[in-house]
Structure 1
Amino acid sequence: MNNDIMIIPTSQMTKEHRQLYLNADPDEQLVKQYLPRCSPFELRVDDELIGVILLEPLDKQTVEIKNLAIDPQWQHHGYGKALVQFAKRYARLHGASTLVVGTGSTSMASLLLYQKCGFRITNVDRDFFTRHYQQPIYENGIRLRDMVRLAMTVK
């Protein structure tokens, strides 16, 4: 990450923003449902949009990473980690002590990222994706069924 990186609030919903949100969560209706409850931020490198994160306060002590996506051509360069670090600072600044995230049990890269950043698995929501998503999702050749929930202390 040698380039000029900025993580800034955004109210935009361009075609590029929409595609990034859908890269992380393929159900557009669900994204539209939780988007109004979230604080949206974009990650730009040399003024190019390459990532997004949606942060949702769940209560006074907890902030959830609701959606985090990096453009596929920019993945594995530390930008996802930069967004997680940003989320930790955001949670602390808003008085929260816990940062949580949920991701698919077949989302190996996401699970690895979150654990490298200090998250610990708290539980598994069995059949979450079969209950909440109309269309089956396949990742790494496996049908996604379960959500893995992770948390970390930020204070």
Structure 2
Amino acid sequence: MVAMNIRCVPENNKRDYLQLLLLADEQEDMIDRYLARGTMYALDIEGETVGVCVVTDEGGRVLEIKNLAVDPAYQRRGLGRELIEFIARNAKGSYDELQVGTGDSPLTVPFYEACGFVRHHRIENFFIDNYDHPIVEAGVLLKDMVYLRRCL
């Protein structure tokens, strides 16, 4: 059994994980919009940080996943789901819903749906209006931000 640990990252150390954060959000100034106000968690395996998650309180008892990233060498092993379940367990009682906004991608939307999220709403042209370059994932040009929610 591999030793896994999820821990809260201190405020002054969040930017140490920028390379991982950029896997999920490839524009640094967009990360800066939520990093300072978010709570960041790191998933360590045998002392090495291989995943991160940033969540923010959006008011109305809604907690939002702003960034969820796992090192490519460790993907498809359930670690992203482990981070989500950790967040959900710890948010229960303080929040009613966990939400995530993502591109309408054939990679990310099915992942979140498999983790119990359902489509809630979308913001048209979010990626076009907020990013300085086209964002393409799995061959799809991302335009709209799709929000998914899960009851806690």
Report TM bin, short chain.
over 0.9
Provide the residue aligned with 1:118 in structure 2. 116
Q: Is the contact made by 1:101 and 1:149 (CA closer than 8 Å) also made in structure 2?
A: yes
- Residues matched between the structures, number: 150
In structure 2, what is the Cα distance between the partners aligned to 1:36 and 1:125? 23
Provide the residue aligned with 1:4 in structure 2. 3
Local SS of the residue matching 1:124? strand
Could you say if the C-alpha distance between residues 62 and 134 of structure 1 is closer, same or farther in structure 2, counting changes exceeding 3 Å?
A: same
Q: Is the contact made by 1:128 and 1:145 (CA closer than 8 Å) also made in structure 2?
A: yes
Provide the residue aligned with 1:141 in structure 2. 139
Displacement, 1:140? 1.6
Local SS of the residue matching 2:116? coil
Displacement, 1:109? 2.4
Provide the residue aligned with 2:25 in structure 1. 25
Write out aligned runs for 1:92-111 (5 A): 92-93=92-93, 95-106=94-105, 108-111=106-109
Local SS of the residue matching 1:122? strand
**Quick check: 139-148 or 18-27, which moved more?**
139-148
Q: Is the contact made by 2:134 and 2:142 (CA closer than 8 Å) also made in structure 1?
A: yes
Opposite residue 124 of structure 1, the aligned amino acid is R
- TM-score, with normalisation over the residues of structure 2? 0.93
Displacement, 1:19? 0.7
Opposite residue 49 of structure 1, the aligned amino acid is T
Displacement, 1:14? 5.6
Structure 2 segments unaligned to the other structure (5+ residues): none
Provide the residue aligned with 1:128 in structure 2. 126
Displacement, 1:43? 0.3
Displacement, 1:83? 0.6
Q: Is the contact made by 1:6 and 1:45 (CA closer than 8 Å) also made in structure 2?
A: yes
Write out aligned runs for 1:46-85 (5 A): 46-85=46-85
Local SS of the residue matching 2:58? strand
**Quick check: 25-34 or 6-15, which moved more?**
6-15
Over aligned residues, Cα RMSD in angstroms?
A: 1.3
Displacement, 1:124? 2.0
In structure 1, what is the Cα distance between the partners aligned to 2:138 and 2:53? 23
Structure 1 segments unaligned to the other structure (5+ residues): none
